[in-house]
Amino acid sequence: MTFNELARKRYSCRKLATKPVEQEKLDAVIEAGILAPTAVNKQPFRIWVAKSPDALKAIHDVTPFTFGAGVFLIVGAKREEAWVRPADKANFADVDATIVATHMMLAIEDQGLATTWVGHFDAPKLQELIPELAGYDLVAIFPVGYADSAAKPSPLHAIRKSVSELVATI
């Protein structure tokens, strides 16, 4: 499969099967995240594998977007560890963690698994429930699993703006 075939195949899967995810597959997804580039190679991110009953309950308490997953990957950015661009003091922590998360999202697809990037959750509450997450910008929660046989892309999946709207040659 070419990279664009993989990118085209991926969609936000909102119905996951009960089949458990093998540890080797999670390891491959995590490796893809760690292989991501970061500004000045600062690697100002953390990945948490949430699968304990307490962690699963906490995630269910802070978002409805759980889709039947038995395991979740959470990605966070540590601002204090990131490169800061001198010209405008822009902190690259969230940029770096988002690249990591994007690698992971596509690796999940590459492993034959399915997910949705979940950004809609109560981050402060999650950090209260799981204190280890405090001090990080939480950029993504990935519910991870096998796509249910009834899963299908939402209508939004098919909608992309045109090249002429999105790309300019200057």
Ligand X SMILES: Cc1cc2nc3c(=O)[nH]c(=O)nc-3n(C[C@H](O)[C@H](O)[C@H](O)COP(=O)(O)O)c2cc1C
Cβ contact 97:44 at 8 Å: yes
Residue closer to ligand X (CB basis): 85 or 120: 120
Q: Which of 22, 65, 68, 87 binds ligand X (CB under 6 A)?
A: 65
- Tokens 């307490």 locate to 54
* Contact flag: residue 57 with ligand X (CB under 6 A): no
Residue of the chain from 75, 116, 142, 145 that contacts ligand X (CB under 6 A): 116
CB 28 within 8 A of CB 47: no
Residue 117 or 136 having the CB closest to ligand X: 117
CA gap 118, 64 in Å, rounded: 10
Residue that is written with structure tokens 């959750």 in the block: 121
Please return the burial class of 30, using the count of CB atoms within 10 Å of its CB with bins 0-12, 13-18 and 19+: middle
Stretch that binds ligand X, among 38-46, 54-62, 151-159, 162-170 (CB under 6 A): 151-159
For the window 11-30, what string marks contact with ligand X as x by the rule CB under 6 A?
A: xx-x----------------
Q: Which residues bind ligand X (CB under 6 A)?
A: 11-12, 14, 65, 116-120, 153-154, 156-157
